[in-house]
Each structure stands twice: as C-alpha cells, then as structure tokens.
A and B are shown apart, each in its own frame.
Chain A
Amino acid sequence: MERRLTFGRCMMLGLAWTVLGFMVLPMLIIFPVSLTDQYYLSLPKESLSLEHYKAYFTDEQWIDATVQSVIIAVASTVASVVLGTLCAIGCWRISTSRASAVRTFMLLPIIVPTIVQALALYRFWIDLRIVDTYIGVILAHTLVSIPYVVITVSAALAGFDVRLEQAARNLGASMAQTIRHVIVPSIMPGVLSGAIFAFTISFDEIVMVLFITSRNVYTLPKRIWDGIEDHLDPTIASVATMLIVVTLALLLAELWLRQRRSIARGRASGEA
C-alpha cells in the first residue's frame, strides 16, 4: 500500500524518529567511548584502541564480578522459571476467581518500586542472616523475576487446549507426568521467554544489590557502579558495550521465540 507523504505525515514520522533517536543514541555513545585511547571516559582523540577491552579480560576483579553475576543470574533464572511456571499452571488449572487473584498478586514485585522492595528485603535479610550472601541475592532476584515468568507462561497457557490435559489424564498419566510430558512441552516458548527475561533482569539488577551486599558478593553492575564513582575508568564503557550486545542478543532471541509461537498458533487455528 503506497501512501502520499503529506506534511502531517512528515511531522509524525519526524517526531517518531526523534523519540527513537532520543532513546537509542545515548546508549550508542558507549561504543566510541569504549574504543578511546585515553585513560578516562572520553571519545577517542587520536586513534581507536582496544586497550580497555583487553583491560577487562585481564583484570581478575572484572572477571570475578562477571562470574558472580552469571552464577547469580543462572540460579535465580532456574528458581524463578520453576516457581513461576508452576504458579502459572496452578492458577490456570484451578481457574477460579481466587486463582486469578493469586495471579494478580504475583505481579506485585513489578508494581512496588524496587527501592522500597530493596529496603524491605534488606531489613528482612538481616533477620535471616543472609545479607551479603549468594543465597540472599539469588532469592531477591528470583522474587523480582517471577512475575515475568508468570506473565509469559500464562500467556502461553491461554492458547493451550484443556482437552490435551484431559487426554493425558485419561490415558493414565498422573498430574506430574501430564505437566512434564504434555503441558510444559506445549508451553515451552512461553517458559523460555520467561527465562530470558529473568536472566536479563538479574544480570543487570543494581538497586537491590546495593542494599543487600557489601564485600562478599560483588556483581558486575555493582562493579560498574563503583567504577564510575571512584575513577572514570573507560573499561566501564567496554563492559557496557558487551552488556548491550548480550542483552540485545537475548531480547532478539525472545522476539524470535514469540514470532515462532504466533506462527505456530496461526497454523493451528488455520487448520481448525
């Protein structure tokens, strides 16, 4: 469909691109900065240099912070995917008004400001003696990730035919076997989307980490944060660049999964 470029349409397009640029360009500035030849955060002056990428890979502290972040992100992803998926399946299976109330309640961590949660967790974690421990951070990140898993899995379940569950039960499968062999494989794209969200959220979460850790647990975002406060080390820019690339890759993967799911659904409904 071809449309004429009227004045109004030009204005609208211009505005849209301006907003988009406003959102994306500040992020893109990181790329040239990461290639600077100077020893502080700046644009490259005389030549491009990979010095600060090298610094990241040779600095034990940066590597250690990355490893810690990965461990925490993987653990909290696994925990939030298992719990969130079971919660979503349970609410879907019961499907009373009380179950949908539970599902709404599960979204609270998204609604409550992170700083308020962080404060609350800090107080509570002191009592539990898990401040500045892996388990403390993993639990906190699991808590904020669960809603995303519940949302994506519930969306996948909305397209799941109840009769498949009934068929499995009728054929002799227990509820656990039904979940494992029939329900979860059918809603796998939703589960994977949830997992990607959970991983990204944990991997670059900073507010809670600032509250509930001090010396023992030292994640990558915290290291970046401290790096900016202490001295404007350009290594931060190179780390940030790599983080952007990884996050972008994960989000594109999620988008791809979602597309595949909607194609599959389109095909299924096309046959019905």
Chain B
Amino acid sequence: MTGSEQPVRSGLSHALSLHSVTKLYGSLAAVDDVSLSIPRGSFLTLLGPSGSGKTTILMAIAGFVQPTRGEIRLDDRVITNVPPDKRNFGMVFQGYALFPHMTVEDNIWFPLKVRGISKARASTAIGEALELVQMGALARRLPSQLSGGQQQRVALARALVFEPDLMLLDEPLSALDKKLRADLQWELKALHRKLGTTFIYVTHDQEEALSMSDEIVILRDGRIEQQGEPGALYEKPATRFVADFLGKSNFLAGKVAGRDAETFTYSVEGTELRQCSTAPVALGENVLVALRPEKIVVARSRPDLPNATVGRIAEFNYYGANYHFKVATPHLGDLIATTPAWNCDVEPALDSEVWLGWSPEAAVVVEDR
C-alpha cells in the first residue's frame, strides 16, 4: 500500500447523487432537503454532531432508510427503491458487525457465498482481501478472538471483497484508541487511493474528516451547513457553527468603523481591530470575526501587528507539542491562543502579562448562526 500505485479499479468507480432527499420521523426532519453530488472515485466525508442526520443519509444511501421525499441516483440510475442487498455497496458499520459465529475467512466469504460462489472458487478473492488489510495470518480466528483494530480490518476486507460500486463507512474508527485511529487513517486513505472506489465516510471527528477527505460536507440539524475541500472549509468557514465545529475559533463581535480597498476596521468595546475582507461591508454594520487560536501570536512585548491586545494568562494547558493559553483581555473577553511549546516566547505562568497579536488576514468574517 504505497502512494505511488495506480488505482486498480478507478474505471469501475461510480458517482452518487442525492436530489432533495428528506426523511421525516413523524413531523421531525432527520434529513431536510439534502442535495449532494459525489464524484467518481472521491473520498467524501459527512461530518456533523450527533443528530445532524449524517448517519440517516448514509443509511438512506445503503437502503436501510427509505427517504420520505427525494431521489438517490447511482450514475444515472435511480436507486431510491432498490433493496439494500441489490445495491452492491460495501459498508463498514460502527462496531464492525462481524458475524460472531463465522471465522474471519467465512465472514469475508459471506458476500461471495450469497452470490452463489463456492468457497473453493472464492479462495483467491478471500486471500487477496485478507492480504489487502494484512490479516492473512488470522484467517481462521473467530471475531471474538481479535482486537478492535483487527476486527475493523476484517470488516473492511469483507466490504471490499465483492468489488462494491461504493464504499460506505459509518464511524469505523470511533471504537479504537487514539494511536490506532491515527494509523488506520493513513491506511484507509492509502486503500482508497489504491482501489479508486468512491468512499462515503461518516464521522463526528473533525480530525478524521480533515485528514482523509477530498471533500467534507458539514451537516447541522438535517441540512447541509457548508461543503468543500478540507483546507477551504477550515480557512473560510461561512458560519459561526462551522468555525467552531471544524477546529476551534475565538469569536469577536463588533461594529464596522471604517473601510478601505481590502480591509475594514471594526470596534469591539472601544478596541479598533483591522480585518481583511473581500465581501462588502457597510459602515455601522455588525460583524462577527472568527479567529483561530493557532493564528494568534503570543509575545512578551507588543507584537508588530495591526491587531494587538494585552491580557493576563487565566489558564494554560501543556500538550507536549503545544501550549494552550486562555488569556483574559480587558476589552475582547477571554481569547484562546496556542503556540508551539518549543518556541514559546512567554513564561507559562498564571496571571502573567502577555501580548496577543494577529494580522488582518489571519481571521475570517462569518455569519452569526
């Protein structure tokens, strides 16, 4: 599994689209008028807090949830009413859902068995699938004899062995510990590149979403809040919700006080701050600015930046690689700032005075919702 390998089956990958899909439970909309187009061979992540409708959308794609309204198409074919066993989509479930009474090998044979392929004829495919997830040595074990990470690999192999048109993954890493989760993120991404199959991934973990996806769709209350490439979403969140859910942000609410060609100034409780913005803003308008903690410069003396404020350290946490400071400022409230621990300019001590500064390009104007 190296990055240089060519996708084996990219020509076989499929595109999926949702057209105004709505799912009502009583009068409550779990999914509310979602339209989405997933290009061939891409890795798309549905990201959202619990109750945002991400799993319902995945279940509708898999065929376990019948949309109240709307249409799902695979390429040009409408599949809204096709039963789950006729869709030919591979799925990795939360908790893996391995058949406990079957060995690893028989679990992987299962999708081929129900397609009428004998174990003898399926043996090559089973072996290849096991090799793909590096589980060849444990073929005759029962799922209960495997660790969480191993079960996850078997679930993956089982979902891949019948060459599905689409891979659906429902929080596949959520039950694993942090280190294993990080390792498997690399592996999943490499696997996706190798197979070229379209992957649809559901998670509430923003780091997973950022690290693996070609595209992220952020869901909130059954609707699409924002979608785009990971970098674009992180750098240009459109709303307060996205700025706070995908990574963390400080929020500065103020009134526009002045404008020039590329920047405007706004005042927060009497403090003038400068902000870059391509979108037009009117004088006196209320604006909300989101500022990432890692884009704030933490310094002993006033930094040479257009935006600066002094404050006192109210709280700090050490994370090995980083310090996280909570700085109480006189006019801007508490601001969170992070700085590399090996290159920290200030003495990390409670109540010591520090300066915070950031450039007008560092922050982004967001909608307040």
Contact = CB atoms under 8 A, between A and B. Distances in A.
Nearest to A271: B144
Interface stretch (A15-23, A124-132, A179-187): A179-187
Contacts of B115: 172
B264 interface: no
A268 B96 CA distance: 13
B64 A181 contact: no
B101 interface: yes
Given A170-B91, A172-B86, 16 more contacts: A161-B97, A163-B95, A166-B62, A166-B84, A167-B98, A168-B114, A169-B63, A170-B63, A170-B64, A170-B84, A170-B85, A171-B111, A171-B158, A186-B101, A267-B144, A268-B100
A177 B88 CA distance: 16
Interface in B66-109: 83-91, 93-95, 97-101
A252 B367 CA distance: 69
Nearest to A169: B84
A4 B257 CA distance: 84
A164 interface: yes
A214 interface: no
Interface in B6-38: none
A185 B101 CA distance: 7
Interface of B: 62-64, 83-91, 93-95, 97-101, 110-111, 113-115, 144, 158-159, 162, 168
Given A163-B93, A163-B95, A166-B64, A177 B144 contact: no
Contacts of B144: 267-268, 271
B91 A172 contact: no
Nearest to A177: B114
B164 to A, nearest CB: 9
A182 B85 contact: no
A257 interface: no
Interface of A: 161, 163-164, 166-174, 177, 181-182, 185-186, 267-268, 271-272
A243 B114 CA distance: 44
B95 A161 contact: yes
B100 A172 contact: no
A177 to B, nearest CB: 5
A172 B99 CA distance: 14
A192 to B, nearest CB: 14
> Of residues B63, B100, B168, which shows the largest number of chain A Cβ atoms within 10 Å of its Cβ?
B100
Nearest to B86: A172
Contacts of A164: 97, 99-100
B97 to A, nearest CB: 4
A253 B86 CA distance: 41
A181 B111 CA distance: 11
B170 to A, nearest CB: 9
Nearest to A173: B114
A135 B97 CA distance: 43
Contacts of B91: 166-167, 170
B82 to A, nearest CB: 12
A171 to B, nearest CB: 4
Given A185-B101, A268-B144, A271-B144, A172 B111 contact: yes
Contacts of A185: 101
24 contacts: A161-B95, A161-B97, A163-B93, A164-B100, A167-B98, A167-B99, A169-B64, A169-B83, A169-B84, A170-B62, A170-B64, A170-B87, A171-B159, A171-B162, A172-B86, A172-B115, A172-B162, A173-B85, A177-B114, A181-B110, A181-B113, A186-B99, A267-B144, A268-B144
